[in-house]
Amino acid sequence: MKSLVLEPTDIAQWRALVHEAEAASEQHLDESLESYLVFLLMRFAGQPQLAARIMALEYLRAQAAESGRQRDQLRDVGDQCLLFSGLFPQLAERRLVRVSYFVNLGRSAYDQLSALVDRHSERLYTGLAQAFVGIMDVLQAMRGLNGVPALSALQAAELWADTGSRSAYRTLREHYRLEPFGPGPATRNRH
């Protein structure tokens, strides 16, 4: 049994949790993505109203907003989709959509946002769009640190097939003793 190690600050505590989840998911986030994730978790911690939002409507509202608000709203859509797909995948099941719905919407929001911001921020948001699945895998590993997988067998199979998520693949093999058939999209795209 692991012992609880308390860090001196909230930032240090979140960073330690992210590091533990990175190790568990066998993912390595670069410093900018890791920092973004830490501050994202801090920003949305304790916001239960988050789950009540309908992301497609939020995305459409962002499309219609003026430029300053549009950037904020697109960032929020991307951030919330990242949290839903990583920490709350069961929300997809309750809404009768696949987890990859949040992945695709979140990637699109970050990608669109990258075209609306300065060059420094453009790199960050492009990186978030490209690394979305890996960051989601880290969040799912964080969720599963207690030994209970974040995904059901069906969700893991769909997510692996739709996105090539290494975490979903590992969940199928380790927790459900299932061997996924055929290559996921990440494997197909390499050949």
Dist. CA 40–CA 97, nearest whole Å: 24
**Which residue, among 158, 108, 166, has the nearest Cα to 137 in the 3D structure?**
166
State the pLDDT at residue 4.
55
Dist. CA 37–CA 140, nearest whole Å: 13
Higher pLDDT, 100 or 2: 100
Higher pLDDT, 130 or 43: 130
How far does CA 123 lie from the centroid of its chain?
18
Q: Say if residues 29 and 37 touch (Cβ distance below 8 Å).
A: yes
Q: Which residue has the tokens 């719905």?
A: 101
Dist. CA 190–CA 164, nearest whole Å: 11
pLDDT category of residue 165 using cuts at 50, 70 and 90: very high
Q: What is the pTM of this model?
A: 0.89
In the chain, where are the structural domains located?
10-146
Dist. CA 77–CA 103, nearest whole Å: 11
State the pLDDT at residue 188.
46
> Does residue 10 have a pLDDT over 90?
no
- Mean pLDDT, all residues of the chain: 89
pLDDT category of residue 184 using cuts at 50, 70 and 90: low
Q: Say if residues 75 and 109 touch (Cβ distance below 8 Å).
A: yes
Average pLDDT over every residue of 166-179:
90
Average pLDDT over every residue of 120-139:
97
Question: Which residues lie below 8 Å from residue 11, measured CB to CB, with a gap of 6+?
Answer: 38, 42
> Does residue 187 have a pLDDT over 60?
no
> Does residue 182 have a pLDDT over 80?
no
Average pLDDT over every residue of 145-174:
93
Average pLDDT over every residue of 82-110:
95
Helix H, strand E, coil C: the string for the chain is: CCCCCCCCCHHHHHHHHHHHHHHHHCCCCCHHHHHHHHHHHHHHCCCHHHHHCCHHHHHHHHHHCCHHHHHHHHHHHHHHHHHHHHHCCHHHHHCCCCHHHHHHHHHHHHHHHHCCCCHHHHHHHHHHHHCHHHHHHHHHHHHHHHCCCCCCHHHHHHHHHHHCCHHHHHHHHHCCCCCCCCCCHHHHHHC
